[in-house]
Structure 1
Amino acid sequence: MTMSRYIRGYLAALAATVLACAAAVFAVNAAVDPMWYFGGNRLGSINYAFNERLSKLNLFLDRSENYDCVIFGDSRVTLLPEQVIEGYRCFNFAFSAGKAEEAVAYARYIKDRGFAPRLVIMGVPAAAFRARIGSTNIPDFIRSGDDPKPALLTYLSFDALSMSWRTLFGTSPLDRVYTPDFECRIAPGAPVYDPAKPVPDMMAGRFTATERVSFYEEMREIFPQAELVGYVPPISAWAIDAYDEAGWLPDYVRAIHTAAAKFDKFRDFGIPSALTINVDNTYDGTHYSEPANRVIAEALLTPGKGEALDLKEMTVEEVLASYRQRLAQYRVVLDSN
């Protein structure tokens, strides 16, 4: 009897200890909220992006009724300030290495949950039309239409605890971070752009896979009531110059012009301009600063504003001629770096 009581007491104490540890792990993870189930970090002033494909969906599902506009794209588009899109309440659904196929999958998912936006904005870099762009990373629950993993299960793990620890005491896993209001910012310590160093993967392949514009057609089918707006995010003028020297610029222009036909509005902010010739606007030649992206957001829906091209109003030959004219315009600066 004595031994039996001892064992029961030991097991009860062990269970209580395990429950206390689990509760503590969950409490810390819920407070820091690295996967954005509960509105983000309440113990600090910054949110890190550990898995934007999951964390942004968690955030959206918690407040989807607040929005009538959604933005899709890759890491360059995460820096577009959604609050600056005048006349709409936008949610920025862009994430690292985001592809049009993934945007379509997420669009179907949120449509099935009753979301019907008035405006859809898509970042459309020419790199989306390379012959090889890598595999997609669509979570299984998105493909199946199931709910994401609940916070209770996610936040009982030590993996999540390591994310919380890093949020509080470590550095960002990306060169981008998010404010308490989930506005994307370039992280402290991001590199300084040197035009003499090529943009990463700049010459990874020519822009010939224009059949991928079918994904933009699918987006229109998913949200037929929405205005569909596309834009080319800015890219270093030195990268455009390198494409021209390599003989790739006609393919580049043809790809984005083909994409433009699938949208109601389409602006090209990648053409050489005062924005893309200023090295202080970017840390790597392809991710642009908050002020630069604010300029883009303010001009995105306004025809004729700024130096961006309106590809809906131009032939492909006119676009190519404009690119070469801009390269000539900025030749002295391009050759000085």
Structure 2
Amino acid sequence: MKYHNWIITVLLIILLPLLMIAGYNWYIDPLWNFNHAHQYNSVQIAFDERQQKTGHLTFHPEPYQALIMGSSRITYINQADFKNFNAYNYAVNNMLLSEYREYASYARKMNGQEFSYIIIGLDFFATNENVQDLNKFESPGYYIDLVGATGYRYKTLLSLDVLEYARKNHDLSKNKVKQNFTYDRTNVKRLDHISMAEKQVLIANNLDWYGDKVYNDYKYGPVRETFQQLVRDHPHTEFIVFTTPVSAPLYKLMMEKGLYPEYCRWITDSVEVFGEIYNFMNFNSITTNLDNYYDASHFYPEIGTLIAKRVTGNEQDKLPADFGIKVNQENLNKHLENIAQEAGIKP
């Protein structure tokens, strides 16, 4: 009898801490594997958007009408800003061209039906084949296999790493901390305004990094081929495509690095594959006003709202006429000529 009681005591000593860890991780849910929302998990740190959003799509099946894809710039666009669309924002930090197909196909599989629309924010930096070497994330297949493994979301409940993120999320939520780069439970990412002094430091750092890592060692990648494969993968889906509006200093740097021909090739490939695009990446009333930017690369969420309105035709409020020019085969050459003229380049 004493031995039996001793066994029970030992098991309780072992199991109780594990149950407490699992319960706490479930309650805060930093991996977005479950569906509950409350005041103590209202702030969520984005420690690996690929894992978190892939898990979210896997364990929250919902018939979305539209899929949004792109890099961190697009993560700050509220999916609810695409009015009349039930859209899911699958954008993640530094999403590259090579990742589009697998993530789009997986999202369709989890959706259980074709998307009516796939909305893509295109980044010029991603056309550089050499940025693949700068991407520190695993391939899409890694994350898809990870969340698809048997018992994945229950096994993660016992993870001490997950526990640490749960603790941080709990503290932020409990204390109502407004922290940039965090999400709420509806997949909306926070980016509050900072001072101009802080911004100028970030812009300088961005320009140094892009000038050294992205625009210095440049090789135009298989852009057209990637787009063509994506269209073939989703023959019954309408693509809504736009270029992301980097700030004027970063755009100017690209031109100064002699990449106007590659920029033209990118716009041309996009138009010829998708039929039309909205080009926000030029000198315009939004990109030349640094009040609209967190740094040289990322616009504030309210600019994302303007983008969503423009590309969906939901323009009850007047938008800047020069922000988001629709480019198709008919006006492509003229548009590129205008770009060259604005930048002081002889095409």
Counterpart code for 1:193: K
Q: Would you say 1:15 and 2:20 are equivalent positions?
A: no
Contact 1:234 1:270 in 2 (8 A): yes
| Alignment pair present for 1:103 and 2:100 | yes
**Alignment partner, residue 198 of structure 2:** 192
How far off its partner does 1:77 sit?
Answer: 1.0
Q: CA deviation at 1:246?
A: 2.5
Structure 2 match to 1:37: 33
- 1:194-233 equivalent positions in 2, closer than 5 A: 194=200, 195-199=203-207, 201-203=209-211, 204-206=213-215, 208-233=219-244
Structure 2 unaligned blocks of 5 or more = none
Separation of aligned partners in 2, 1:196 and 1:217: 36
Determine if the alignment matches structure 1 residue 288 to structure 2 residue 299.
Answer: yes
Residue in structure 1 matched with residue 334 of structure 2 by the alignment: 318
Matched residue, 2:121: 123
Whether 1:262 and 2:279 are equivalent positions in the alignment is: no
Q: Which moved more, 1:90-99 or 1:235-244?
A: 235-244
CA contact (8 A) 2:55 2:147 kept: no
1:34 touches 1:167 (CA, 8 Å); kept in 2? yes
Q: Secondary structure at the match of 1:230?
A: strand
2:187 corresponding residue in structure 1 = 182
Instruction: Judge which range, 129-138 or 64-73, deviates more.
Output: 129-138
* Pair 1:315–1:200, CA change in 2 (3 A): farther
Look up the equivalent residue of 1:166 and give its one-letter code.
Answer: K
CA RMSD of aligned residues (A): 2.9
Q: Go from structure 1 to structure 2 and tell me whether the alpha carbon gap of 1:143 and 1:23 turns closer, same or farther (over 3 Å shift).
A: closer
Query: Which moved further from structure 2: 239-248 or 192-201?
Result: 192-201
Q: How far apart are 1:189 and its partner, in Å?
A: 6.8
Question: Aligned partners of 2:150, 2:242: CA distance in 1, in Å?
Answer: 30
**Partners in 1 of 2:61 and 2:118 — Cα distance?**
14
Higher mean displacement: 309-318 or 218-227: 309-318
Q: Which moved further from structure 2: 201-210 or 32-41?
A: 201-210
Structure 1 residue 177: deviation in Å? 1.6
Tell me by how many angstroms 1:107 deviates.
1.9
Deviates most, 191-200 or 218-227: 191-200
State the distance in 1 between where 2:246 and 2:150 align.
Answer: 34
Deviations 1:38-75 (A, max 9, x none): 13653143122122112112222344334111011111
Contact 2:193 2:294 in 1 (8 A): no
Structure with the higher fraction of residues in helix conformation? 2
Alpha-carbon offset, residue 132 of structure 1: 0.3
State the secondary structure of the residue aligned to 2:207.
coil
- Would you say the 8 A contact 2:278–2:326 is kept in 1? yes
TM-superposed deviation, 1:270: 1.3
What TM-score does the superposition give when structure 1 sets the normalisation length?
0.85
CA contact (8 A) 1:111 1:222 kept: no
CA contact (8 A) 2:49 2:93 kept: yes
* Cα shift readout 1:164-216 (whole Å, capped 9, x = no counterpart): 112123699x9512123221221687983225554363223455424233222
Aligned counterparts of 1:38 and 1:144: Cα–Cα separation in 2: 16
Question: Aligned equivalents of 1:182 and 1:145: distance in 2?
Answer: 18
Q: Does the Cα contact within 8 Å between 1:271 and 1:323 map onto a contact in 2? A: yes
Q: Deviations over 1:224-269 (max 9, x none)?
A: 1110121111101111212222322222232232123221431111
Rounded Cα–Cα distance in structure 2 between residues aligned with 1:187 and 1:31: 27
Name the CA distance, whole Å, in 2 between partners of 1:198 and 1:52.
22
Q: Partner of 1:159: helix, strand, or coil?
A: helix
Q: Identity rate of aligned residues, in percent?
A: 19
- 2:171 maps to a residue whose letter is F
Establish whether residue 244 from structure 1 lines up as the match of residue 244 from structure 2. Answer: no
Aligned ranges for residues 140-159 of structure 1 at < 5 Å? 140=142, 142=144, 146-147=148-149, 150-159=152-161
Gap runs ≥5 in structure 1: 329-337
Whole-angstrom CA distance in 2 between matches of 1:81 and 1:33: 21
**Residues 70 and 92 of structure 2 are in contact (CA less than 8 Å); yes or no, is this contact kept in structure 1?**
yes
SS at match of 1:55: helix
In the alignment, the residues of structure 2 paired with residue 97 and residue 322 of structure 1 have an alpha-carbon distance, to the nearest angstrom, of 29
- Provide the residue aligned with 1:78 in structure 2: 75
